[in-house]
Structure 1
Amino acid sequence: MTRSISTAADLVVRTDDGAELAVTVEEPRDERGPTVVLVHGWGAARAVWHHVAGRLLTAGHRVVRYDHRGHGASTVGKDGITVERLGADLAAVLAQLDITGAVLVGHSGGGFAAMSYATTYRTEAQARVRSMVLLATAAHDRKEPAGEVKMMGNPVFHFALNRGPVGRAMLRQTLGENPSAAVAESNRRMFAGTPRKVRQAYFGCMGEMDMRADLTTVSIPAVVIAGSRDKMIRPELGAVVADSLPDAEFRIAKGIGHMVPLEAPDVVAAAVTEMAAR
């Protein structure tokens, strides 16, 4: 796909605890829609949105995407990693770039960040966000077993992830029906590229996360999409997110696993186009 970019810039947003967040801003040749802010999941990076961003640029949207603290080119900062801190990081990106009226798209842990922002910075969010697209995410019940959290930091697990065929096989359960070789390899590279201690901290930070009650006070329109083959965050957890929000619709993407941005960029772009009109 031809990417309809007139300009692209890499920026750094510095948070109040000293983290440096790597941000990419892409401007379309013909801007016809609102800005779209893309927030990736844990163990990924802003590169996960490559194909989604291309479609959005062609549709005339300015696209902003950034690496979570500790991921990609972003540093960790002094406060460490909590769901609340990730909501504050998103607030910093939106404020520094002075974004208003945006479509906010969050995948998996990026959805946690988007919901944390919308519930904690409620008044500000009303001005900066016109609508949300939440992908393969949950508002509660994501406490990871201690053994799984420990595995994320295990050096042997990390070594295996960096071995192409073995790493792809280990992450196969994150994908749906018949993923392409390119999708499987891109997924592996990003997950393996996340420092193991960072990955462990992210998977361990969910604790007793429960945003359901707070979401009932968020009036931002939303669509929540879950892959029918998602084994990481069960689709019924996405349905709870939609039920908790006052103005939200829940949809199932058939045959898709957890990595919706990689597996179904057309589905994501179509949902953004729809929500941009809200």
Structure 2
Amino acid sequence: MSRTPAAPTAAALSPTGETTVRTDDGAALAVTVLAPLRAGAGSGTTVVLAHGWAAGRRVWSTVTDRLIRSGHRVVLYDQRGHGASGLGKEPISVRRFGEDLAAVLGETGSRDAVLVGHSGGGFAAMAYATADPAGARRLRGLVLLGTAAHDQETPDGEVRMMGSALFSRALRRPALGRRLLGQTMGKKADPYAREVNRQMFAAASPQVRADCFRASRGMDLRAGLAAVRVPAVVLAGEHDRVVKPELGRAVAEALPDARFDLLPVAGHMLPLERPDEIVRAVAGLVARSRA
């Protein structure tokens, strides 16, 4: 299957607003394009944000606000099956998420962006980059958050739980849902951030949740990362119990030009817990690309 995105449409290249990117297997991806609020250090640089499993564009709200205030154009989208995005003909897979990301980059004129991927969005970013290293070299940089390139063998019991009606009903009860998802965030996470996390997880389709967590089984992108010659920053929360921090370190070691930072106290949901560190990582890559 070709990974070359279709030519950008006039609507997709509009500076702001909502648009739809349709993939080659028929999935309609909901995309938001935001222009910078003012000229700044980031002027002329696009940042594309890819969220993780059972989340959505909402997870980037604080990050997005800081980026557009810093002068960046921002593109964010719901992964297939999440939020306002539909499913296509192909089953959910890490490879398919990488191809979806390629379509978003192409249709929004963002092939020279800084690409930020959290958790499963990091899988998508790495799948895109390893499948098309030449295309990835056009990127200004990669910021990978709470993610891994291998060792994601989700147990059968956990996959079944993700898809169960009982778990979904529990998530819809605020106090219980926050408690069930407690391990996804650091102990000092803001209560509002915990509630946002619960609401997104509860809104995700049980089948999509299960399919996503099943999709990463057998994934090992480390060999392909050696050809991804793009400056990168890999961030991991010190207390991440979803994706072990040492797996983020392994990603940085596999990439030719990457820095690994361990964020004290933080858990897995870095877009909600540590937005400022993400924005600083983007700023550093932009400054480096200009130098």
Give the TM-score category using the shorter length.
over 0.9
For residue 177 of structure 1, report the CA deviation from its aligned partner.
2.4
**8 Å CA contact retained: 2:48, 2:110:** no
Letter in 2 for 1:153: G
What does 1:224-239 align with in structure 2 at a 5 Å threshold? 224-239=234-249
1:22 maps to which residue? 30
Structure 2 residue identity aligned to 1:247: D
Identical-residue share of aligned pairs (%): 52
> Does 1:39 find its partner at 2:50?
yes
Q: CA deviation at 1:122?
A: 1.5
| Alignment-derived partner of residue 120 in structure 1 | 131
Letter of the 1:201 counterpart = D
Q: Mind listing any 5+ residue stretches in structure 2 that lack a counterpart? A: 1-14
CA–CA distance in structure 2, aligned partners of residues 196 and 99 of structure 1: 31
For residues 180 and 69 of structure 2, what CA distance do their matches in structure 1 show?
A: 35
Deviation at 1:100, TM superposition (A): 3.2
Q: CA deviation at 1:8?
A: 3.6
Q: CA RMSD, aligned part only?
A: 0.9
Q: Say if 2:20 is the partner of 1:12.
A: yes
Counterpart Cα distance in 1 of 2:237 and 2:192? 19
Whether the 8 Å contact between 2:31 and 2:77 is mirrored in structure 1 is yes
- Structure 1 runs (4+) greater than 2 angstroms displaced: none
The aligned counterpart of 1:162 is 172
Corresponding position: 1:61 with 2:72: yes
Unaligned runs of 5+ in 1: 1-6
**One-letter identity of the residue aligned with 2:23:** T
Contact residue 33 and residue 276 of structure 1 kept, 8 A = no
Distance of 2:37 and 2:179 partners within structure 1: 40
Matched with 1:73 is 84
Residue aligning to 1:3: none
Secondary structure, in 3 states, of the residue corresponding to 2:137?
A: helix
Deviates more, 1:64-73 or 1:22-31: 22-31
Q: CA deviation at 1:33?
A: 4.2
Distance in 1, matches of 2:38 and 2:25, equals 37
Letter in 2 for 1:9: G
Residues 1:264 and 2:280 aligned together: no
Give 3-state SS (helix, strand or coil) of 1:168's partner. Answer: helix
Counterpart of 2:216? 206
Matches within 5 A, 1:76-91: 76-91=87-102
SS at match of 1:277: helix
Determine the structure 2 residue equivalent to 1:150. 160
Q: 1:206-258: per-residue Cα shift (whole Å, max 9, x none)?
A: 12100011101110110000000100000000000000000000001111000
TM-score, normalised via structure 2 length: 0.92
Farther off after superposition, 82-91 or 117-126: 117-126
TM-score between the two structures when normalised by the length of structure 1: 0.96
With 218-227 and 118-127 compared, the bigger mean Cα shift is at: 118-127
